[in-house]
């Protein structure tokens, strides 16, 4: 009985939301995106993120759909559902749509994101890889563009934060990727004399120079950083250790770090599934394996001059502004559409399963 009641309650809520969406007419806008993709669920959060980039870049979004499709989008995936849950995010009909629009169709997109890397040794031409983004809620809550002081004196230290649950983050070992897992990386750093595990924000902000030349970890079980403070805390450090995600190297943390000029300390395979690739000593510090990482920690990471750090930080910010910001992503996707290029869009587990 309770299950039937909840179904009816959801149906009524969806019907009311659909009616509100039907009544919404976007203001006239010279920049508009028309979506004609029947199966956005294939791409989960990454479809929302791509469309959100257009929204943040000042585009009106048109995505004609019936009630069944609206319900599917609204309830199937919590991130994809933001497309119809965010107020005035898109129009579900073509009312007031300008004559000239950018059209995004299903056949423009491919979920085989890692084909270039594995099958073609990163020599594939006439394609575009939509880059990794912040966590979806960073855009949803407006946290992605909060003003951060990127010019303050920083700790000459390596920072890392996040979830290190071995049950979740060992799945990448079952894939074709050969990156060190985040569990491998945590265990590696725990053996270093300069390893520090913090339990709160003040451990960073009130540390003075205690954390200089340290490897500073905010492990979720001990200190879960509020999303509102992530970019601020990243901006206190010269370097950020990039840990891989659940089933692929790419993870939103690296983008959040680069947005405030924090230099990625990153494994080579990870750096090479970012497009354009990150470059050692230019906009990243790149290691090939754990033995190589050990050598970098001993001889290199804390021995860069202030000028070298400033140069790398500037190049990190340039990379973010040129390739990762919403405006840059939209500009590059539009260019790819105009040039009839295939656009690779991540589809999480599905993208990985394409690989042998």
pLDDT in tens, 246-257: 999 999 999 999
User: Residues 328-348: pLDDT tens digits?
Assistant: 999 999 999 999 999 999 998
* Whether residue 313 sits in one domain with residue 210: yes
User: How much is the average pLDDT of 100-126?
Assistant: 95
What are phi and psi for residue 276, nearest 5 degrees?
Answer: -65, 160
Residues 6+ apart with CB under 8 A from 274: 131, 132, 250, 254
Q: Which of 231, 228, 224 is nearest to 261 (CA)?
A: 231
* Whether residue 164 sits in one domain with residue 29: no
User: Residues 124-138: pLDDT tens digits?
Assistant: 999 999 999 999 999
* Whether residue 172 sits in one domain with residue 203: yes
* Whether residue 24 sits in one domain with residue 97: yes
Q: Which structural domain range is residue 101 located in?
A: 2-132+327-353
pLDDT at 168: 85
At residue 4 the predicted structure's pLDDT band, cuts being 50, 70 and 90, is confident
* Whether residue 117 sits in one domain with residue 26: yes
* Whether residue 290 sits in one domain with residue 146: yes
Least confident range of 2-6, 85-89, 222-226, 249-253? 2-6
CATH no. for residue 197?
3.40.50.2000
- What's the structural domain count of the chain? 2
User: Residues 24-71: pLDDT tens digits?
Assistant: 999 889 999 999 999 999 999 999 999 999 999 999 999 999 999 999
Distance CA 214, CA 238 (A): 11
* Whether residue 277 sits in one domain with residue 224: yes
* Whether residue 286 sits in one domain with residue 186: yes
At residue 23 the predicted structure's pLDDT band, cuts being 50, 70 and 90, is very high
Average pLDDT taken over every residue of the chain: 95
* Whether residue 112 sits in one domain with residue 181: no
* Whether residue 287 sits in one domain with residue 170: yes
At residue 356 the predicted structure's pLDDT band, cuts being 50, 70 and 90, is low
70, 18 in Cβ contact below 8 A?
A: yes
274, 250 in Cβ contact below 8 A?
A: yes
Question: Is the pLDDT score of 7 beyond 90?
Answer: no
Sign of the alpha-carbon torsion through 102, 108, 112, 117: negative
Distance CA 310, CA 321 (A): 17
At residue 260 the predicted structure's pLDDT band, cuts being 50, 70 and 90, is very high
* Whether residue 305 sits in one domain with residue 188: yes
* Whether residue 44 sits in one domain with residue 98: yes
């Amino acid at each position: 009985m309770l299950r039937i009641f909840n179904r009816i309650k959801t149906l009524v809520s969806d019907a009311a939301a659909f009616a509100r969406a039907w009544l919404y007419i976007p203001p006239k806008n010279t920049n508009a995106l028309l979506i004609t993709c029947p199966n956005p669920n294939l791409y989960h959060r990454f479809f929302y993120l791509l469309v959100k980039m257009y929204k943040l870049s000042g585009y009106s979004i048109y995505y004609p759909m019936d009630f069944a499709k609206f319900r599917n989008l609204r309830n199937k995936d919590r991130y994809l559902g933001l497309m119809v849950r965010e107020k005035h995010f898109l129009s579900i009909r073509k009312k007031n749509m300008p004559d000239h629009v950018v059209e995004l169709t299903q056949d423009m997109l491919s979920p085989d994101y890692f084909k270039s890397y594995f099958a073609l040794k990163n020599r594939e031409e006439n394609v575009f890889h939509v880059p990794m983004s912040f966590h979806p809620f960073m855009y949803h809550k407006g946290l992605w563009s909060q003003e951060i002081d990127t010019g303050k004196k920083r700790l000459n230290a390596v920072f890392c934060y996040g979830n290190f649950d071995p049950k979740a983050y060992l799945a990448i070992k079952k894939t074709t990727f050969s990156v060190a897992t985040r569990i491998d990386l945590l265990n590696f750093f725990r053996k270093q004399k300069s390893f520090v595990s913090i339990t709160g924000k003040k451990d960073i902000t009130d540390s003075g120079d205690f954390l200089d030349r340290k490897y500073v970890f905010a492990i979720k079980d001990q200190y879960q950083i509020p999303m509102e403070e992530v970019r601020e805390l990243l901006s206190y450090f010269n370097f950020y250790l990039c840990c891989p995600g659940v089933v692929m190297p790419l993870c939103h943390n690296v983008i959040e770090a680069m947005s405030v000029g924090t230099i990625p300390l990153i494994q080579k395979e990870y750096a090479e599934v970012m497009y354009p690739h990150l470059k050692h000593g230019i906009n990243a510090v790149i290691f090939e394996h754990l033995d190589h990482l050990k050598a970098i920690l001993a001889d290199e990471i804390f021995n860069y001059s202030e000028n070298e750090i400033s140069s790398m930080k500037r190049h990190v910010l340039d990379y973010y502004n040129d390739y990762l910001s919403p405006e840059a992503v939209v500009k590059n996707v539009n260019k790819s559409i105009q040039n009839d290029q295939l656009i690779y869009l991540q589809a999480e587990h599905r993208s990985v399963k394409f690989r042998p």
